Structure 1
């Protein structure tokens, strides 16, 4: 009998816990115009997170006239198996609903059910309520319908118990209103528990959540917040039935004298700004927060991932154009943990990818219906150590770097949020992708008076890369081979991506510019299993250059198997593979119809990208001087040849491929005033290294040549901690 009761109790516990699946949710709305019959359209975007992707909210009208649903679309935003102990995963979905209402007067909608995932206040999970106030009244300050704040947060946040951290909640308001975030009021059905958790402090007026310290617990803290917006000055709202109402800004509380304390200002209770009128909007902002066991170090970049370039800053506004894909590039590093995955919350149909350069890329294409709207995107990167390390799709380059550790855990970076503003297409472009080249066409009428001869591709010195070659009276046209003109090659789990851009320069012969009037990025994306391999080879062909006074000449950059330099390595075998420490033999050869010329290699650098301006770079030769200690120059009687070798290396923790890029020039042979004759110039005389005497045509401009990529074999890599899976980079 006792065993039967125990079994029933266990089944009851399992049933209750399995019903506890809610992680949180957010809502916002956007006015979408009027219909011929005078009714109003409002788009409501609900994001909700459960421990499965098949749950959804049910909203009902709790106050006012809420109209009816005309369209509805639902999709998954993101999911992860890095979830609390009692849940197998979390999955965030978004439902975008268009409602038709007969009046623009305020109305409220509510969703409620059971239950939250197991929390610190209720292991069985407590009920949840979400309440949304929609007000489309015409504002006296803008003459337009009121717009709600754009709110967003990651549905599941985590932090080690010993690592204080500040979270700036995304609360952007398109009308420029003052936004505040507060705990919900159970009496207004804004939440069920409305708990103000120990170890956390919410600064309402800046929508900033501070974590200081609390004991680790496998149960989460459930945050049930409300976001409100108030005008910056006194305004009125006019409604279609002829009525109106007034709204006032938040006011400062009455100040009182308090004793001085050493407690941080944000940790004190303080008195938030006071509301003297109802808010313009009221939106739910609910999420789960897990406090993990302590980390060995709270310094970002060791165990906790640290964002590095090109990750956008928190709050940054990013311009997006209708029907054109926008890209957000994110990168993080952790010395003693493996970068695992990125989690994000963004608009429906946003995708995430991991490249072979260990960057994360978020991509999204706005529709015409999104024009003029703002879309928040929040993201964080997770790392792991020990047994917590798992293999994610596309994660073929996870390593532990530095001192191995037996610590096992998952660590989350800070949360950053950006705003995408959707506008019209500013520069009208068309990109055509073929198996061997990209063709980009830019309408001249959309260039806003920019000079055509000030436009160039990433690497224009090759005559093949001239934009003047194919352009006509109406379009700037570039026909770019997939392996030339500075085209960058990128890989993710499924695609090869070839990228280039058209930018402005001060004059057609300049090496740098301090103007940034135009930047047209374009790319072609091919499935790895497609036919692009028929027309693309990684090996770089010769670079053909035209220079006044020297005519047309070519540079050829090749790799050789040994120091005999007899035959080049077969181009079909690219990308080449080397062991770390193995010698790499290279030759740059110049040919010209002009007699008595010589070539000079001013600098050579290694980079994970085929671009001399990319980061990181490693200097091999600078100012004509070898700087890498393994560089060996191989003498040759031909003054138009340069032979050298270095020992293979890899960029620590970042990439498994390397391009060698050199800056070279041609000079009048034997002229003591040419850069070629000056040879190696040490750093004290660095300002001489770029001297050019173009008027007398004794030397050309510097030209960029590159070859690669070289891929470094994994044999020399540091062994990974137990539980981490390795895969070949080939």
Structure 2
């Protein structure tokens, strides 16, 4: 009897105990109608992830202010685990409220419990800050930042480098990711402006909980005004030196990352699926129309394990159809038909390819829903080795005024003739971005219409013409993207036209540049590599500042595997020696290295800024900024934007070849040259030594090598 009573008590305690299944949540909001009596309609879109069955665990309550009466729609399933293991699911819920006062209010959701995790986080708390007052720049209520994640992010322990989260703001505001609880993750660094997580150590195997808050700030000073004419000022984030400015809104982004056991290789497409073209790139913005069918094509490859599915976080009525192709390639077609209730909504869609053992990188895009499709003209794109040209037919866009069109960088101008609107830009100017699409490098730009910010109405159609050139990765290494020409030309209103050159030199005299015909440059490990950056400007009083230099194993400067040589103006590598650093030149040397894991090439990308000489508040004047140092207010009118310049590749010479060698006192660097008897004996001895090291290394090699080898 006592035994039966004990079993009954245990079963009751289990039945009333907390459900250990919460995987995270995200929220976005936007205003709807503003009624004559001043009432504002607000729409909230809330996604929640957990284990199946997918019962919603969050009940939102008014935490402060006048929240009105929240009306809930029934939650809809957006995606669930199809592997048969019943691991995860995600739902989306639409909530509305009518707020009678133009003021601030806060919604809160809390409960227990997170899924079992490494740091034993139990309780969860979600909070959204809403300001329904009218902005002076958009003349409407603020819209929150937009973000989301897939329900279940998985990364092998030795492959976690960077995790790029979606950051999008419908009003064009500056978004910051805050993580008050990240002290629990000492091995994680968060770049607040880009919402990028990076690791500076090995994370424990298991679930890791991340609780972020997304905040948006205006890009210039604005006011927010209530119905009584009382206004408050809202400042940009980087213009307040003494205190943190007040955000326009706050929304939660909470998720888990499952760190899995190490794999033998982190190379994309081997143990982890690799996303291929035409899969959209992370951060892409697409446009859809109410009632129209919008499709997204995903494509991935996995050579070691079969791709079972694509994990998708999207609107509830988005469907997925899979198709298996050859050579381990699987395609998915996502189809969505926006409804009237989706009008003006900026909808986040995140996805990743799934195998039983692993997962591809997560990418997220945004779909903007309009009443009708955005006007996009007929255009011809010409892809050259170092430039992109576009010719848009005027006949396809009748009534469009060229003067109201611009590239991503509005300082770059478009031209026209009788039949076409024309634009030409190099691969690294005018706002052109380079992104790694898996099997291709894609260079992207776009032509957009813009409006007069002082106008309330417009009679011009919205225009958006995205264009790109893609280069096969193999071809880019040997042909398209080897940086044989190191001139980067920019134009900015305060500095006019200026340029940078980034060159490799044969010795530490920096008088003889390496012949571009010798690229890719072959080097030996631990040779000194001499690099020089120079600024060229017609203005007499300018100063060059090298803010960062980062090495990557391929020509993607945003590669997950990277190594900081210079960061925030501070030298990070012990072998770096600066030979000359004056107002317009920066010459330095570094001991040659390679990346572990079978990579034999190194690219170096540096971010550079040009400042007005003598400005005490410019980035140049700040110099090296340690991570704990407070960033003071900068005079952005006295400096250019941050520009990125790339040099490489440097290829590690095979041990059977005679290649570059440099003496400790700055001897010359010889490229693929013959050597004397002494040099020959030296190389033989080095080969033997390397062989011994490699042999010993193989016996002790762990499967989780992901660190840079700065010496051999």
Question: TM-score scaled by structure 2?
Answer: 0.49
Q: Which has the larger radius of gyration?
A: 1
TM-score, normalised via structure 1 length = 0.48
